[in-house]
Amino acid sequence: MAAKPQVRNAPDAGPAPEDREKHPVDETLPPLKMLTSGLQHVAAMYAGVVAPPLIVGAAVGLSGTELTFLTGASLFTAGLATFLQTLGVWKIGAKLPFVNGVTFAGVAPMLAIVDTTENKADALPVIFGAIIVAGLLGFAAAPFFSRLVRFFPPVVTGTVITLIGVSLLPVAFGWAQGPNPKAADYGSTTYLSLAGITLLVVLLLRRFTRGFLKQVAVLVGLVIGTLIAIPFGGTDFSPVKEADIVGFPSPFHFGAPQFALAAIISMCVVMLVSMTESTADMLALGEIVERPADEKTIAAGLRADTLGSALSPLFNGFMCSAFAQNIGLVAMTRIRSRFVVACGGGFLVLMGLSPVAASLISVVPRPVLGGAGVVLFGSVAASGIQTLVKAGLEKDNNVLIVAVSLAVGIIPITKPEFYHAFPETAQIILDSGISTGCVAAVLLNVVFNHLGRGRDADEVTAPMEPGEEISGSATAKAAHAH
């Protein structure tokens, strides 16, 4: 049999077409799997998207109808921002399975803007104007901000990913206790039992099922948990009955944007916090899907975040950012396709255009979401620990970086009033454990692993072999190993 020409092995020849396999991030799935997996992403992040508009809308004094409109607008703009991230346009979009939605970091400064605005009818236009300016400035700064990626080695990314998971867990615990912290039954055994049952269903499905059912375990757990909650009165179907079938978020529904300097500065600070968290989220997701986020990817992702934020006020939406809780869903299900998340973005757009569709997701009780959240957010923390395993923790320097950064990042979780004496602008940053932990990890890594590198770089904490002398072979062996 004659030998075939070795064209494929030529130095300048690329791989043959049959050898080119799509990365799992770029794969498309069967329609049913695509739809259910996308819906699972929406279910995981729905509460986080609708909470900020409900809080800010209530502070402004909007009616129930206007609150529904504002919530629908946030869902619609979250879907558009998710399209930008997952599908990408030009150099915009990380093209990773990234869900975008309203960032909670902006809630406190937006409430401050509401409080300082004499005419409450002007509060939302002032907020929207500040978000537009912050978004455009962030878009211009994205390529410069992305260059910080070289300061995110595994010891930093592992710490930040762990902090993302740990910071989100209290959200799940709060959901598990009930919908209203001021209610008498908040934290009741009924609510906690519903959360526990949902968690148990998810775990059983993950343990004893295979294939598709195993991958949509969270969605199935949410459905079963919701059905179980009905006899206990934990499921409220009134939003479905009261919602309109169609409702488009008309541009500038609350008035043309207004531009106030103090509000703009405040939202620019929030944008910096959001960009820091998004960078950390992209690095985390890149590790999980095995497509590390480089400087180019981060710049494109930040452009999508900031452009999505700048466009959101046009349709009465707020500042957009990556949703860390959905990273946990990717980590747990191992469904890495960005088109699945784009499908979730499609659901968000449809819910924004159809309030009755949006209300179907809102039927899921908070305790049920809490039970599923324990698995989702815990998976993020576990992914961070996996990254730290590769970070060289046998070195004293790296152990200190992780130890101090985790401690700094956990402060806002364990002591929410720790920074109460600081100015409100500073609290925006300090109250984000992800941001403070990320900054601490980056700075400590520079100090311990870059400045004066030759002096302490060879010190390790690995135990000596039996019989080794402290000043002799152990030091030499450690230096040689390094």
Nearest alpha carbon to residue 349 among 101, 67, 90, 32: 101
Three-class secondary structure assignment of the chain:
CCCCCCHHHCCCCCCCHHHCCCCHHHCCCCHHHHHHHHHHHHHHHHHHHHHHHHHHHHHHCCCHHHHHHHHHHHHHHHHHHHHHHHCCECCECCCCCCCEEECHHHHHHHHHHHHHCCCHHHHHHHHHHHHHHHHHHHHHHHHHHHHHHHHCCHHHHHHHHHHHHHHHHHHHHHHHHCCCCCCCCCCCHHHHHHHHHHHHHHHHHHHHCCHHHHHCHHHHHHHHHHHHHHHHCCCCCHHHHHCCCCCCCCCCCCCCCCCCHHHHHHHHHHHHHHHHHHHHHHHHHHHHCCCCCCHHHHHHHHHHHHHHHHHHHHHCCCCEEECHHHHHHHHHHCCCCHHHHHHHHHHHHHHHHCHHHHHHHHCCCHHHHHHHHHHHHHHHHHHHHHHHHCCCCCEHHHHHHHHHHHHHHHHHHHCCCCCCCCCHHHHHHHCCHHHHHHHHHHHHHHHHHCCCHHHHCCCECCCCCCCCCCCCHHHHHHHHHC
CA 474 to chain centre: 44
In whole angstroms, how far apart are CA 353 and each of 182, 312, 350, 357? 32, 15, 5, 9
| Integer CA distances (angstroms), 199 to 171, 189, 206, 330, 382, in order | 15, 15, 11, 17, 17
Average pLDDT over residues 252-259: 90
Q: Tell me if 328 sits within 8 A of 380, measured CB to CB.
A: yes
Tell me which amino acid residue 78 is. Answer: A
Q: How many domains, in total, are found in the chain?
A: 1
419 falls within a domain: yes
Q: Which of 340, 34, 376 is nearest to 206 (CA)?
A: 376
Domain housing 152: 23-452
Cα–Cα distance for residue pair 311/50, rounded to 1 Å: 18
Statement: residue 109 has pLDDT above 50:
yes
Question: For residue 240, what are the CA distances in angstroms to 236, 357, 361?
Answer: 9, 8, 10
Question: pLDDT, tens digit, for every residue of 7-64?
Answer: 444 444 444 444 357 888 888 888 888 888 888 888 777 767 877 887 788 778 877 6
pLDDT at 343: 92
Residue 482 within any structural domain of the chain:
no
CB atoms within 10 A of CB 465: 9
Neighbours of 208 (CB within 10 A): 9
User: Mean of the pLDDT values across residues 440-455?
Assistant: 79
Query: Which pLDDT tens digit goes with each residue over 234-250?
Result: 777 776 777 677 777 78
CA 99 to CA 344: how far, in whole Å? 8
What confidence tens digit (pLDDT) does each residue in 340-359 have? Answer: 999 999 999 988 888 777 66
Torsion of CA 363, 366, 371, 377, to 10 degrees: 110
Q: Does 323 score more than 90 pLDDT?
A: no
Residue 10 lies in a domain: no
Compute the distance between CA of residue 232 and CA of residue 170 in angstroms, rounded to an integer: 24
Return the C-alpha torsion angle 304, 306, 307, 309, nearest 10.
120
Phi, psi of 408 (to 5 degrees): -65, -40
CA distance 374 to 218: 11
pTM: 0.66
Helices 31-60 and 366-389: angle between axes, nearest 10 degrees: 110
Burial 466-480 (b: 16+ CB within 10 A, else e): eeeeeeeebbeebee
Looking at 136-150, 312-326, 425-439, 462-476, which range is the least confident one?
462-476
CA atoms within 13 Å, Cβ hemisphere of 465? 8
Q: Is residue 473 part of a domain?
A: no
Query: CB–CB of 330/285 below 8 Å?
Result: yes
Q: Please, what is the average pLDDT of the chain?
A: 80
Give domain status of residue 6, yes or no.
no
Is residue 158 within 8 Å of residue 385, measured between CB atoms? yes
Query: Is 160 within the bounds of a domain?
Result: yes
- Candidate from 3-17, 338-352, 374-388, 418-432 with smallest mean pLDDT: 3-17
Query: Which carries the bigger pLDDT value, residue 132 or residue 1?
Result: 132
First to last CA, the chain: 52
**Quick one: CA torsion of 197, 202, 203, 207, rounded to 10 degrees?**
140
Confidence of residue 154 (pLDDT cuts 50, 70, 90): confident
The answer to whether the beta carbons of residues 52 and 319 sit under 8 Å apart is no
Q: Considering the domain boundaries, does residue 18 fall inside one?
A: no
